[in-house]
Structure 1
Amino acid sequence: MSPERESTRDRTPVGATATTRPRVRLDQPRPPRRRLLPEWDPEAFGRLSERIARFLGTGRFIVWMTVVIIVWVLWNVFAPHDLRFDNYPFIFLTLMLSLQASYAAPLILLAQNRQDDRDRVNLEQDRKQNERSIADTEYLTREIAALRMNLGEVATRDWIRSELQDMLKELDDRRDGHREHGGGHGAHVVFPADHPRGRDADDR
């Protein structure tokens, strides 16, 4: 026996089988993993960012920010020295405005990204709707063309009127002919079916 097999045999614990090894249960969900970062709802966070961005883009925010800055400066200039919390050159005010700008820019970008996603979805839906409308229009066009082709073979009112006029004219001509040839044989028969002899004579 080779020394490699002996070393492997020595490392294998006695009585260790496949049943004693830990197995992953497929019929149970995995335990939740621990995350170092806090979890949040992306949809709720996106809605909040849109509200903040919408408020930052209004005149109300500009008015309130201007009022706060004016009160801040006046208080730190004319208030008693012991009550001032941000003396000239107002470093704390500059820090707060910088902090506000650093948060406002990503929030506005997030709101713009969400709006771009909605616009993309709307454009895709409009494109599909236009494709369906074009397909429906082409289908209706083919159906109308087929109906027009079929209507060309259907008897129209004008055609029936012209045929009836031709039949009446033919009957008038036939009646005039009967008057010329058989005016002395009693009443004239307009339709051959009313008189069997006349019908037989015409058929012959």
Structure 2
Amino acid sequence: MPERRPRVPGPTPPSTSAAAAAAASSSRNRLDQPLAKARRWVPHTTMDPESFGAFAERFARFMGTARFLVYMTAFVILWLLWNTVAPGPVRFDPYAFIFLTLMLSLQASYAAPLILLAQNRQADRDKVQMEQDRARNERTLADTEFLTREVAALRLALREVATRDFVRSELRTLLEDLEERAEERGRRQRLVERADPPAATRGDPAGS
């Protein structure tokens, strides 16, 4: 009778959850498939940051004007007078003015981030302007150095060339020489005319 051998247990099959996790990790690591978007519990809202930043700057600029202070002071005074002098049934915020305090707190809580946003935008613009000024100054310095080198090269090249003052002095000397020669020629011509007068002015001895 043949001898029975003990049965060796084979590898246990992986569980369903482990197989799903392995499949998910393999699909996540694959580059030929797009990633699945995560589910958002809060809806994603798109907002133009430039428009919102411009609104924040306008709001901060308006809050820094005297008109806003006048409007705010008039509003608070009217609120206090209405809830102090008006008859009891029409008062909606009696003494202690809790509702007014809440409104002013809400205004301050919203105004502070808007002012900070406007300041950040102004700081970004100042940074860009500073970088542009630095680049412009660097270009100006480079142009100045280039022109300085060119002027130095021209001076070296014109060292052996007649300058304007030299040419002017030579022309002045030549003009003086020409004037002296013209005067000398005129003087000689006058002397010749005096020594040899014309025939019309001479006396005719035969006729006399």
User: TM-score range, shorter-chain basis?
Assistant: 0.5 to 0.7
Aligned residues: 155
Picking from 7, 11, 21, the partner of 1:6 is: 11
Picking from 103, 123, 126, the partner of 1:116 is: 123
Structure 2 residue matching 1:152: 3-state secondary structure: coil
Give the TM-score taking structure 1 as reference length: 0.63
Percentage of pairs with the same residue? 58
Structure 1 residues 37-61: Cα deviation after superposition (integer angstroms, max 9, x where no partner): 5332222211111111001000111
State the match for 1:63 in structure 2.
Answer: 70
- Most deviating of 152-161 and 54-63: 152-161
Structure 1 residues 146-180: Cα deviation after superposition (integer angstroms, max 9, x where no partner): 00110112244526975xx8xxxxxxxxxxxxxxx
Picking from 36, 61, 75, the partner of 1:54 is: 61
Task: Give the distance between the partners of 2:103 and 2:15, measured in 1 at CA.
Answer: 66
> Which structure's CA Rg is the greater one?
2
Structure 2 residue matching 1:60: 3-state secondary structure: helix
Unpaired segments of 5 or more residues in structure 1?
14-20, 166-204
Instruction: Indicate the structure whose relative CO is greater, using CA pairs within 8 Å and at least 6 residues apart.
Output: 2
Relative distance call for 1:126 and 1:29 in structure 2 (3 A) is farther
State the match for 2:133 in structure 1.
Answer: 126
Across the aligned residues of Structure 1 and Structure 2, the Cα RMSD in angstroms comes to 3.4
Give the TM-score taking structure 2 as reference length: 0.62
1:30 Cα offset (Å):
7.7
Task: Give the distance between the partners of 1:35 and 1:159, measured in 2 at CA.
Answer: 91
Task: Give the distance between the partners of 2:32 and 2:46, measured in 1 at CA.
Answer: 27
Relative distance call for 1:66 and 1:156 in structure 2 (3 A) is closer
1:85 Cα offset (Å):
0.6
Relative distance call for 1:32 and 1:141 in structure 2 (3 A) is farther
Picking from 146, 162, 165, the partner of 1:139 is: 146
